[in-house]
Amino acid sequence: MKIKLFTFLFTLVTGVGTLFASNTQVGGIWYDFDGSNKTASVTYRGEYCDSYYNEYSGSISIPSSVRYNNVTYSVTSIGDQAFYGCSDLTSIEISNSVTSIKRYAFYSCYGLTSVVIPNSVKNIEECAFRFCSSLKSVVIPNNVVNIGDQAFEDCSGLISVDIGNSVKNIGSGAFGGCSSLASVTIPNSIETMGYYAFQYCTALKSVYNYATTPQEIDNEVFYGVEKSDCTLYVPEQSVDLYKSAKVWKDFGKIIGSQIPTLTNNPSVTSGESRKLLRNGNIYILTDDSRTYTLTGQKIR
């Protein structure tokens, strides 16, 4: 693990002031401050990420800005290993100023059940949520472009993933070992899926792929998944393309449908169904006003 710098760098020019200050606590959260850009990155306490074990616990809300030494800084990232090993952390709400979630940011946060990722986030890096085994429902917002290698690997409690329609790359092993994952929604923006992206997602039963032209992927993307027991939902006009496409053709059922759209609006017209986002969870809302989980359990 990298040793954090505990230095303050000062310019020789009068009036410019502090360029950078690291590992400083404000309001119960530790930050690295960049004085030149007036930005802050959430970090851990101490010289190493485990210097003060489990320093974050319970519910944490990351503010959009923080004031330090009479200067206001915009909080733009969750830094490398910021919440590493914080097993008593139960929920995290990230403000709309944050644009990146760095490497190992929430690694092994076993107690984390809820995370709100704002639309401002563009990049989720390597192992950001790896081993978050209590995490149930994840929505990747529309502005995220890249989901890094092993970003959600071994999140064994994860049951559904909806990926926003700006994501271009799903990294190697991004959702590998998510053994409870039953449903995945893939937008038409996806260009590449890395090796083992969904390996050993043994509970996977439904894949919704919005792409009208099947992505070219390798067998290893779904390594260890019984594709013959899994249903692939694709645009109606693309069924024949998927039935002849490498890997996709191996799914047990390929069904052409108007794929439900993720929405915050509960209204549904006749003959239509929608994916409804409510309180951080995703449900299927049908036109008869019935609500189901993604695994088919009736809610009301």
Q: What digits encode the pLDDT tens for the residues 34-79?
A: 999 999 999 999 888 888 878 899 999 999 999 999 999 999 999 9
The pLDDT of residue 20: 54
> In the chain, pLDDT over 90 holds for what percent of residues?
66
Nearest to 126 by CA among 87, 160, 163, 174: 174
Task: Check whether 127 has a pLDDT greater than 50.
Answer: yes
d(CA 93, CA 116): 5
The pLDDT confidence band at residue 141, using thresholds 50, 70 and 90, is confident
Average pLDDT, the chain: 84
Determine contact, residues 194/172, Cβ cutoff 8 Å. yes
How far is C-alpha 271 from the geometric centre of its chain's CA atoms?
A: 31
Reported as a pLDDT band with limits 50, 70 and 90, residue 273 is: low
Of the two residues 100 and 117, the one the predictor is more confident about is 100
pLDDT at 116: 83
Q: What is the pLDDT of residue 10?
A: 34
Distances (CA, A) of 153 to 149, 194, 299: 9, 13, 29
Arithmetic mean of pLDDT, 155-172: 91
Nearest-angstrom CA–CA distance, 221 and 197: 5
Confidence at residue 18, expressed as pLDDT on a 0 to 100 scale = 42
- How much is the pLDDT for 268? 42
Residue 186, CA distances (Å) to 41, 78, 101, 261, 269 in order: 30, 25, 21, 11, 24
The first and second tokens of residue 76, run together, are 């733009």
pTM score of the predicted model: 0.79
Reported as a pLDDT band with limits 50, 70 and 90, residue 9 is very low
Share of the chain above pLDDT 70, in %: 78
Per-residue pLDDT band at 276 (split at 50, 70, 90): low
pLDDT at 88: 95
Q: Are 20 and 8 in contact, with CB atoms under 8 Å apart?
A: yes
Strands 274-278 and 281-285: antiparallel
Which comes out higher in pLDDT, residue 239 or 15? 239
Residues 223-250 have pLDDT tens digits of 999 999 999 999 999 999 999 999 999 9
Question: Token digits for 18?
Answer: 């502090």
Going by C-alpha positions, the residue among 300, 267, 261, 268 that lies closest to residue 282 is 261
- Residue 11 pLDDT: 33
Q: What is the pLDDT of residue 275?
A: 59
The answer, yes or no, to whether residue 19 has pLDDT greater than 50, is no
Taking residues 4-24, report their average pLDDT: 45
| Model pLDDT, residue 205 | 94
Return the closest-CA partner of residue 224 out of 294, 153, 285.
153
Dihedral angle over CA of 195, 200, 206, 210, nearest 10: -10
